[in-house]
Amino acid sequence: MTELPVEFSTSTPLDYQGIYPCPICRRGRISAIALMDAFGCDVCHHIFTANLPKQSLRVADTSPPLNWRWNGKKWQPSHRDGVEINPSVWLVAVAFVCLPTTIVSLAAYTFPPLPGSSWQWFSWAWVGLAFLSHLGCVAWLILEYYEVPSLMALRQSSSTQQLPVRQYRLDR
Ligand SMILES: [Zn+2]
């Protein structure tokens, strides 16, 4: 099996006759599955459904379903239809991180630990933990939204669910 570049040098439209790099594992090649209007990857065995007029691809066996758009040379993550991060969502995200941190630090500031107590560090460590854990939640949601491919690849390597696509592939 020859290596397929992640990016094509010439513009190639997405159709069921072609072979394309896999947008999930980035190592495999996806090609049409016999008798099905779908693509399968020969490495990670994910099954993709294509929308040829829109030149887009969707992997159906992940939650949430992920979409990519083929620009003729490579895959570009496309955001979920109708879902958009607007300024009020950002505001809620900032409040979600700042509010608990402020409350916890106010408590630490108002009721400081007794001088010389061995747990003096704890209240400010708790503030840091509150900040980091809430920031982590927001960061995770943003990563989920923007469908970072490396995150998917990381998930893929730990995934145990594999579908036997290879058996249904056409010989080329
Ligand atoms: Zn793959």
Query: Coil, strand, or helix at residue 145?
Result: helix
40-62 in b/e burial notation, b at 16+ Cβ within 10 A? bbbbbbbbbebeeeeebbbbeeb
Residue 24 CA to ligand 1 center (angstroms) comes to 5
Instruction: Please give the average per-residue pLDDT across 160-167, as a whole number.
Output: 46
Instruction: State the pLDDT at residue 93.
Output: 94
Query: Minimal CA–CA distance to 32: which of 42, 24, 156?
Result: 42
Better pLDDT: 110 or 66: 110
Residue 37 CA to ligand 1 center (angstroms) comes to 17
Q: What residues are neighbours of ligand 1 (ion), with CB under 5 Å?
A: 22, 24-25, 28, 41, 43-44
Residue 166 CA to ligand 1 center (angstroms) comes to 12
Better pLDDT: 164 or 138: 138
pTM score, whole prediction? 0.50
Q: Please give the Cα distance from 62 to 58 (Å, whole number).
A: 10
Angle, CA 70 vertex, CA 63 and CA 57 arms, to 5°: 30
- The sheet with strand 56-59 has its strands ordered as 19-21, 29-32, 38-41, 47-51, 56-59, 66-70, 75-78
Instruction: Please give the average per-residue pLDDT across 127-138, as a whole number.
Output: 96
Angle, CA 1 vertex, CA 71 and CA 60 arms, to 5°: 45
Lowest mean pLDDT among 8-22, 48-62, 89-103, 142-156: 142-156
pLDDT tens for 89-102 read: 899 999 999 999 99
Instruction: Give the containing element (helix H, strand E) for 20.
Output: strand 19-21
Residue 23 CA to ligand 1 center (angstroms) comes to 7
9-38 in b/e burial notation, b at 16+ Cβ within 10 A? eeeeebeeeeebbbbbbbbbbbbbbeeeeb
Instruction: State the pLDDT at residue 39.
Output: 94
The residue to which tokens 């939640």 are assigned:
137
Residue 84 CA to ligand 1 center (angstroms) comes to 27
Residue 33 CA to ligand 1 center (angstroms) comes to 14
Q: Where in the chain are the domains?
A: 19-79, 87-146
Residue 16 CA to ligand 1 center (angstroms) comes to 17
Instruction: Please give the average per-residue pLDDT across 61-83, as a whole number.
Output: 76
Residue 53 CA to ligand 1 center (angstroms) comes to 23
Question: Which residue spans within 52-152 are E strands per DSSP?
Answer: 56-59, 66-70, 75-78
Question: Which residue spans within 33-72 are E strands per DSSP?
Answer: 38-41, 47-51, 56-59, 66-70
Whether the per-residue pLDDT at 168 is higher than 50: the answer is no
Residue 86 CA to ligand 1 center (angstroms) comes to 32
Residue 156 CA to ligand 1 center (angstroms) comes to 9
Q: Please give the Cα distance from 3 to 67 (Å, whole number).
A: 24
